[in-house]
């Protein structure tokens, strides 16, 4: 049974609903474009160094866990689905279903962070944290291997930070939806959060093959 969309209120600074929604969406896409440029710079830096040091990058990437990386990829792809369902039910004004799928998305995001934490801990135990205590065999590849892990921690760390920010935003949304706060009585806040979350997922879709699946 098709239900009515949640009613939207027009804020005083906008002339009509169309202008209001367009402003929100354009603002969010502008933010995402700056994020794309930011990660694009990191991806370019990584690819330049990888082209110049293919053999050592291949040796270094063997210390990454492909099964854990693949597991986290599945977790994030599933979270994209649960977020899409959250937006779907937000557009229909079904609050309980919104909460259910939003909590599921948060649980998947936390799972991703926990798995990433285990990966980082394993690198710490192996002495693969860039710095004075960095260890790598063979020793002649030590400097370039440290460069690989510097890029690995910078790129995955920034991505994990974005995941954490997403979790915090979703936690705030959950509370606001649970108390039926006026600011979340229409679907726009949930839709904007969904756009951000899909962006976070797409960044990981590029990170996983670039870092974990390096061909020789």
In angstroms, the CA 112 to CA 103 distance is 14
Task: Report the pLDDT value the prediction gives residue 15, as an integer from 0 to 100.
Answer: 76
CB atoms within 10 A of CB 98: 26
Residues 162, 104: Cα–Cα separation, whole Å: 18
Task: Respond yes or no on whether the N-terminal peptide bond of residue 138 is cis (omega within 30° of 0).
Answer: yes
Listed in sequence order, the residues at least 6 apart from 210 whose beta carbon sits closer than 8 Å to its beta carbon are 43, 46, 47
Taking the C-alpha atoms of residue 79 and residue 71, their distance in angstroms, rounded to an integer, is 12
b or e along 126-164 (b: 16 or more beta carbons within 10 Å of the residue's beta carbon)?
eebbbeeeeebeeeebeebbbbbbebbbebbeebbebbe
pLDDT score, position 7:
60
Task: Return the pLDDT at 1.
Answer: 44
As a whole number of angstroms, the distance between CA 115 and CA 109 comes to 10
Taking CA atoms, 13 is separated from 16, 17, 211, in Å, by: 9, 11, 46
Token representation of residue 59: 């040796």
pTM of the model: 0.89
> pLDDT means per 10 residues in the chain (216 residues)?
56 75 85 91 94 92 94 97 95 91 97 97 93 88 93 96 97 93 84 94 94 84
Q: Which residue carries 């919104």 as its tokens? A: 98
Task: Tell me which residue has tokens 């600011």.
Answer: 183
Per DSSP, 186 falls in state S
Q: Report the pLDDT value the prediction gives residue 22, as an integer from 0 to 100.
A: 82
Q: What is the pLDDT of residue 127?
A: 92
């Amino acid at each position: 049974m098709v239900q009515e969309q949640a009613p939207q209120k027009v804020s005083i600074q906008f002339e009509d609903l169309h202008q209001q929604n367009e402003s929100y969406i354009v603002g969010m896409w502008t933010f995402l474009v700056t994020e794309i440029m930011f990660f694009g710079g990191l991806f370019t830096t990584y690819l330049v160094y990888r082209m110049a040091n293919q053999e050592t990058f291949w040796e270094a990437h063997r210390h990454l866990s492909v099964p854990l990386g693949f597991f986290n990829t599945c977790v994030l792809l599933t979270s994209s689905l649960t977020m899409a369902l959250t937006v779907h039910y937000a557009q229909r004004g079904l609050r309980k279903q919104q909460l259910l799928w939003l909590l599921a998305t948060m649980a998947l995001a936390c799972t991703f962070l926990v798995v990433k934490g285990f990966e980082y801990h394993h690198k710490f135990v192996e002495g693969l944290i860039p710095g004075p205590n960095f260890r790598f065999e063979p020793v002649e590849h030590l400097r370039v291997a440290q460069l690989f892990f510097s890029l690995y921690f910078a790129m995955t760390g920034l991505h994990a930070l974005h995941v954490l920010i997403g979790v915090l935003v979703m936690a705030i949304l959950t509370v606001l939806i649970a108390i039926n706060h006026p600011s979340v009585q229409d679907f726009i806040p949930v839709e904007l959060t969904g756009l951000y979350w899909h962006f976070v997922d797409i960044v990981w879709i590029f990170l996983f093959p670039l870092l974990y699946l390096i061909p020789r």
